Amino acid sequence: MESADELAAITAILAEGDERGAFANVCARLAWPLGIELGRSPGSELGPWIAMLGTLALARGAPKLHELTEAVVRDPDSPDRLYDLGFALIDAGVPRVAATVLWRCLSLVGDSEEVMCELISALETATAYEDAFRLLDEREPLRAGSFLCSYLYAFDAAMTGRLEIVRATAATLVPTSPTHEVMRGTIERIVERADRVVGACALDRADLRGWHYVLTGGLLLHRSPYGFPAPMTGRYAWLQDSYAMIATGLERLRPFIAGLPCIYAPEGRDHEIVACAAAFKFGLPVAPWPAIGVPAPGLIVAHRLEAIPEDALVALAHRKVDQLFYAHASPWTYDSRIAPDLTMCLYQSLNAPWDGAQTYSADVGKAISRPVDDRPVEAIAAEIVASPLLADAELEAEDPGGWDALVARAWPLTPGPRTRLWAGGPVPSNRF
């Protein structure tokens, strides 16, 4: 179908009031890698698509994004206008569209460090690490003159499983600023952790736990058996969380927390429930987090990583002796500010067991509404502790021998800065 016909079809969808459908169609056509063709085209061919994107941005309540698209439509061969739009599209949550726009910008200016790094940022946000690595691998002169491009080359090599390139590039990183020191430290710690588990972990495209440790410095307690080994390879897509899942996660914490004096609970009902369950299970008192006396020894217990207040995450930026951070569930499709020391599972979308939901009832043969469980925190926590653990069918992907080998090498974790929890990695999983 020609572009004019595609745009006419999308206009018809929009006329029917289906803004979501029209937006999905525009993003699909502009998204990397399909959008590479448009990114190589003259600005006059890309312009109508950017105009349609702007129309939809305005309809969806994003006037600033609409203004940026209008500026590109007026001057489709302006690198500055394209760069500004690409930057904004990353923030707007459409990094694959941003990559197409930034690719067009790069085609106009040549191998600019600034534009290349923003393009790499878009691709990394979209977890297109292979493409990011390839673009940098093809541009050795740019890397040679840019600390940032060399760092990104090492990082994307790590995120695609190319440890020898990570090691070789790490040796060439010469920082000239405190920011560069932090970046080099990130790569050096990846290399250190990889060296630490040599021989204990396969670090191949199925070794989710090994790569999780190497990239984040944390341990993953459970691998999903659904879609294992493909297409999920141990991660969850949509997860209906359960008391059994939470109880199993707490049980698996036991070997790591000997001697810790208390449980810290970040602010929020979900965290308080899991922290209270941990306190009941291990016979420890609960203290609020952050609190007077912090940093003090103890176990910080959260439900979902992304639901932790920002000030609490700032307080957790550094791993301290005798202080552990456990998040029951952590997202894997986008970066998080820090990685927990221990997490039970990785997911894309999760519904807590005490949240309201639509569930299928075999007894009545249809979906029924499950109400929100608004009982006191202590009552739900007690039910978690009393719950059976996960059934054998839920544990089929565990590989206890591989887990023991990893823990023997990786534990105890090294004090120092906690790294980010990076989205994706060398082990593939389908996104939905």
Last residue of a domain, one of 77, 97, 126: 126
pLDDT at 360: 54
Per-residue HEC secondary structure of 90-123 comes to HHCCCHHHHHHHHHHHHHHHCCCHHHHHHHHHHH
Q: Quickly count helices (H) and strands (E) in the chain.
A: 19, 12
pLDDT at 107: 94
The CATH number assigned to the domain holding 273 equals: 3.40.50
| In a domain? residue 430 | no
Least confident piece of the model among 54-68, 177-191, 221-235, 352-366: 352-366
pLDDT at 292: 57
pLDDT at 287: 86
pLDDT at 353: 97
The residue assigned the tokens 């202080």 is 323
| Domain assignment of residue 389, given as a range | 208-417
- Contact (CB, 8 A) for 332 and 218: no
Both 110 and 227 in one domain: the answer is no
Both 146 and 220 in one domain: the answer is no
| In a domain? residue 169 | yes
Both 159 and 243 in one domain: the answer is no
The residue assigned the tokens 């430290």 is 185
* CA atoms of 100 and 40, how far apart (whole Å): 9
Residue 403 predicted with pLDDT over 60: yes
Both 173 and 119 in one domain: the answer is no
Q: State the average pLDDT over residues 29-55.
A: 89
Confidence of residue 358 (pLDDT cuts 50, 70, 90): low
Last residue of a domain, one of 196, 219, 243: 196
pLDDT at 41: 81
| In a domain? residue 427 | no
Q: How many domains does the chain have?
A: 3
Confidence of residue 363 (pLDDT cuts 50, 70, 90): low
* CA atoms of 32 and 197, how far apart (whole Å): 35
| In a domain? residue 203 | no
Last residue of a domain, one of 173, 196, 219: 196
Confidence of residue 40 (pLDDT cuts 50, 70, 90): confident
pLDDT digits (tens, 9 = 90+) for 263-296: 999 999 999 999 999 999 999 999 877 665 555 7
pLDDT at 344: 98
pLDDT at 362: 59
Both 232 and 114 in one domain: the answer is no
* CA atoms of 210 and 193, how far apart (whole Å): 10
DSSP letters of 197-235?
A: TBTTB--STT-HHHHHHHHHS-EE-----TTTTTTSTT-
Q: State the average pLDDT over residues 42-71.
A: 92
pLDDT at 364: 65
| In a domain? residue 158 | yes
Please give the backbone phi and psi of residue 428, each rounded to the nearest 5 degrees, phi first.
-80, 145
Residue 328 predicted with pLDDT over 80: yes
User: Which helix H or strand E contains 298, and what residues bound it?
Assistant: strand 298-304
Report, in this order, helix, strand and coil percent for the chain, each rounded to 5. 50, 15, 35
Both 169 and 51 in one domain: the answer is no
pLDDT at 221: 98
First to last CA, the chain: 26
- Contact (CB, 8 A) for 188 and 155: no
- Model-level pTM greater than 0.75? yes
Both 231 and 325 in one domain: the answer is yes
Three-state SS for 263?
Answer: strand
* CA atoms of 421 and 305, how far apart (whole Å): 10
Both 371 and 222 in one domain: the answer is yes
| In a domain? residue 309 | yes
| In a domain? residue 61 | yes
Tokens of 389: 């653990």
Both 120 and 244 in one domain: the answer is no
Both 318 and 352 in one domain: the answer is yes
| In a domain? residue 432 | no
Confidence of residue 222 (pLDDT cuts 50, 70, 90): very high
- In the predicted model, what is the mean pLDDT of the chain? 94
pLDDT digits (tens, 9 = 90+) for 295-315: 579 999 999 999 998 888 888
pLDDT at 357: 75
Both 116 and 259 in one domain: the answer is no
Q: State the average pLDDT over residues 90-110.
A: 96
Tokens of 84: 């500004």
Q: How far is CA 289 from CA 1, 175, 244, 272, 327, in A?
A: 57, 36, 25, 10, 14
Q: State the average pLDDT over residues 384-408.
A: 97
Q: State the average pLDDT over residues 214-223.
A: 98
The residue with greater pLDDT, 288 or 79, is: 79
* CA atoms of 371 and 375, how far apart (whole Å): 11
The CATH number assigned to the domain holding 104 equals: 1.25.40.10
Q: Please name which of 147, 162, 118, 34 lies closest in space to residue 425, comparing C-alpha atoms.
A: 162
Q: State the average pLDDT over residues 314-324.
A: 90
Both 393 and 282 in one domain: the answer is yes
Tokens of 35: 């959008």
Cis bond upstream, residue 412 (ω within 30)? yes
Least confident piece of the model among 22-36, 61-75, 154-168, 265-279: 22-36
pLDDT at 2: 72
Q: List CB contacts of 398: < 8 A, sequence separation 6 or more.
A: 222, 223
Q: Where does 305-419 show beta strands of DSSP type E?
A: 318-319, 323-331, 342-347, 349-351, 357-361, 366-370, 416-417
